[in-house]
């Protein structure tokens, strides 16, 4: 019996999720140099030939893994930016979402960060994030919660400290040091960008 188009898409999505988990396991065990289609297929419970039904080869598979790690973070940042909330609260949420994502995918982020794989995709993602964060800053200026200034340089600075946050999380520093960085960063957001920093921090409101 033939599967419907929707059923096929569901099965394919489920299989790719299985492959993603298997590829992550192989990467963490063997590293980038040790990942092979054979090892991933075995970890996923597939014949090697079946894996080629989903990916053309190792590079295609690694691109899929990279997207699987980065895209959920991008979606979380997008969601925070679209939320019905003040701009400073949106920036707070973006910081915390990044911190949580770094904990969840620490091993894979460490491996992917150590390689030059898919550099074009990295540039494209950074451009998308820059546009989103710039929009948050511009929205804050319009609503009167962020002091007027050029928003693009501030967005670049913000992305830079988010990148440092992820780098901290994949290094050997303790979770306490990472949490301290997050709190200092959030404090800096309110003190450095807010039009009324003292009032914002004295309010005692949680982001």
- Which CATH number does the domain housing residue 41 bear? 1.10.10.60
Whether 168 and 90 map to the same domain: the answer is: yes
Predicted TM-score (pTM) of this structure: 0.75
pLDDT at 118: 57
Is 18 a domain residue? yes
- The structural domain count of the chain equals 2
- Which CATH number does the domain housing residue 75 bear? 1.10.357.10
Whether 98 and 128 map to the same domain: the answer is: yes
CB contact set of 32 (below 8 Å; sequence gap of 6+):
62, 111, 114, 115, 117
Is 17 a domain residue? yes
**Residue 154 belongs to what domain range?**
65-202
Whether 156 and 128 map to the same domain: the answer is: yes
User: In the numeric block, which tokens belong to residue 195?
Assistant: 């039009």
Is 50 a domain residue? yes
Whether 15 and 92 map to the same domain: the answer is: no
Whether 176 and 81 map to the same domain: the answer is: yes
Whether 159 and 105 map to the same domain: the answer is: yes
| Residue pLDDT tens, the chain, 207 long | 455 777 777 878 888 899 988 998 888 888 878 889 999 999 999 999 999 999 999 888 888 888 888 888 888 999 999 999 999 999 999 999 999 888 887 777 776 666 655 566 677 788 989 999 999 999 999 999 998 989 999 999 999 998 888 888 878 778 888 889 999 999 888 888 777 655 544 444 444
């Amino acid at each position: 019996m033939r599967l419907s188009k929707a059923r096929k898409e569901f099965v394919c999505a489920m299989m790719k999720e299985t492959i993603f988990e298997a590829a992550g396991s192989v990467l963490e065990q063997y590293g980038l140099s040790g990942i092979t289609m054979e090892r991933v297929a075995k970890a996923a419970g597939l014949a090697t030939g079946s894996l080629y039904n989903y990916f053309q080869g190792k590079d295609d598979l690694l691109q899929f893994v990279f997207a699987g790690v980065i895209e959920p973070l991008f979606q979380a940042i997008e969601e925070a930016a679209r939320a019905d909330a003040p701009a400073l609260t949106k920036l707070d949420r973006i910081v915390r979402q990044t911190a949580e994502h770094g904990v969840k995918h620490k091993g894979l982020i460490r491996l992917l960060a150590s390689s030059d794989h898919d550099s074009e995709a990295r540039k494209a993602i950074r451009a998308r994030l820059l546009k989103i964060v710039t929009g948050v800053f511009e929205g804050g200026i319009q609503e009167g919660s962020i002091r007027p200034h050029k928003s693009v340089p501030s967005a670049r600075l913000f992305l830079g400290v988010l990148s440092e946050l992820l780098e901290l999380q994949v290094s050997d520093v303790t979770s306490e040091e990472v949490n301290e960085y997050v709190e200092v960063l959030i404090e800096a957001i309110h003190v450095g960008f807010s039009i009324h920093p003292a009032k914002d921090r004295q309010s005692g409101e949680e982001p």
